[in-house]
C-alpha cells in the first residue's frame, strides 16, 4: 500500500475493500433480508475455522475510497452490512456518515475486539475466545452470535450472554464444517435455554453469496 493510500485508510477515508455485493442476509436476526454487503480486509483475531481467511491480510485488498464504496452501494439497498475480516480495525465514521446521509441503514458484524467507531443501526457482536470484545461492544450489541464448534462453546455462549444488555437477541450458529455434529446439540440446548435461538447459514444452503 503506497503512502497516500495508507494515510487515507488510517483516516477512514479509504478502506481495504475485499468485496462488495448485493444479496440476502444469510444469518441471524435479519436473515432473508436484502442488503448490500461490504467486506473489509484485515483481521488478527485468527479463528482457525474462519471461512474467509483470505480477508486477513489487509495488504492484499485495494485501498478503496469511501466515496467509491458508497456509490456502489447506493443503487441497491436501504441496508448496508459491513463485515470482514474485522471492520473495526479501521475508522468507520466516514463510511457510516456518508451512508446515513443517504438514509441507508447501517449494520455491522464484528468481534468487538477493537474500539467502536461509526454510527450503527444494528450491531451484531460475534465474540471470539482468543480476542474478547471490549466492554463498549457488549453495551452496543443488538445481536449476540456465538459460533458453535465444540461443546465448550455452550459455556462460552452463556458467559458472553451475561455481559450484553437485556434487549440483545441471542443466537447460536454451528460452524459450517461441523454443522451435522453440532446442530442436534444446539437444538437440545435451545430447548433447555429458550432465550437462545438457532441461526443457520442459510445463504450457503441457498447457494448465494
Q: What is the pLDDT of residues 82-117, one digit of tens each?
A: 999 999 999 999 999 999 999 999 999 999 999 999
Contact 53, 8 (CB under 8 A): no
At residue 170, φ and ψ (nearest 5 deg) are: -110, 125
* Ranges of H-type helices in the chain: 3-11, 66-73, 93-101, 135-140, 152-161, 179-192, 202-206
What nine digits make up the cell of 77?
Answer: 439497498
Looking at residue 32, its pLDDT comes to 96
Q: In a 3-state reduction of DSSP, which class is residue 72?
A: helix
Domain limits, the chain: 3-206
CB distance 172 to 155 below 8 Å: no
Does domain 3-206 fall into CATH 1.10.150.120? no
Q: Is the pLDDT of residue 195 over 80?
A: yes
Residue 3 has pLDDT above 80, yes or no: no
pLDDT in tens, 52-66: 999 999 999 999 999
Q: Is the pLDDT confidence value at 27 over 90? A: yes
Q: Which helix (H) or strand (E) holds 24?
A: strand 14-24
Tens digits of residue pLDDT in 144-190: 999 999 999 999 999 999 999 999 999 999 999 999 999 999 999 99
Is the confidence at residue 1, as pLDDT, over 80? no
Angle, CA of 119, 122 and 128, to the nearest 5°: 100
Task: Produce one character per residue of 166-188: b if its CB has 16 or more CB atoms within 10 Å, e if not.
Answer: eebbbbbbbbeeeeeebbebbee
User: pLDDT tens digits, residue range 121-156?
Assistant: 999 999 999 999 999 999 999 999 999 999 999 999
Q: What is the pLDDT of residue 2?
A: 58
Provide the pLDDT for residue 77.
79
Q: Does the global pTM surpass 0.85?
A: yes
For residue 95, how far is the Cα from the chain centroid? 16
Amino acid at each position: 500500500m503506497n503512502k497516500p493510500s495508507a494515510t487515507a485508510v488510517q483516516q477512514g477515508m479509504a478502506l481495504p475493500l475485499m468485496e462488495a455485493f448485493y444479496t440476502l442476509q444469510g444469518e441471524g436476526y435479519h436473515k432473508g433480508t436484502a442488503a448490500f454487503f461490504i467486506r473489509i480486509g484485515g483481521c488478527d483475531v485468527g479463528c482457525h475455522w474462519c471461512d474467509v481467511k483470505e480477508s486477513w491480510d489487509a495488504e492484499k485488498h485495494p485501498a478503496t475510497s469511501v466515496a467509491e464504496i458508497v456509490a456502489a452501494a447506493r443503487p441497491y439497498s436501504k441496508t448496508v452490512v459491513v463485515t470482514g475480516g474485522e471492520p473495526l480495525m479501521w475508522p468507520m465514521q466516514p463510511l457510516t456518515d456518508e451512508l446515513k446521509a443517504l438514509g441507508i441503514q447501517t449494520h455491522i458484524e464484528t468481534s468487538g475486539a477493537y474500539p467502536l467507531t461509526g454510527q450503527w443501526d444494528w450491531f451484531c457482536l460475534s465474540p471470539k475466545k482468543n480476542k474478547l470484545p471490549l466492554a463498549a461492544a457488549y453495551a452496543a450489541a443488538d445481536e449476540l452470535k456465538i459460533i458453535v464448534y465444540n461443546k465448550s462453546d455452550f459455556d462460552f455462549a452463556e458467559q458472553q450472554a451475561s455481559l450484553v444488555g437485556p434487549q440483545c437477541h441471542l443466537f447460536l450458529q454451528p460452524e459450517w464444517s461441523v454443522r451435522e455434529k453440532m446442530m442436534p446439540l444446539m437444538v437440545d440446548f435451545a430447548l433447555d435455554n429458550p432465550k437462545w435461538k438457532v441461526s443457520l447459514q442459510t445463504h450457503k444452503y441457498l447457494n448465494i453469496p
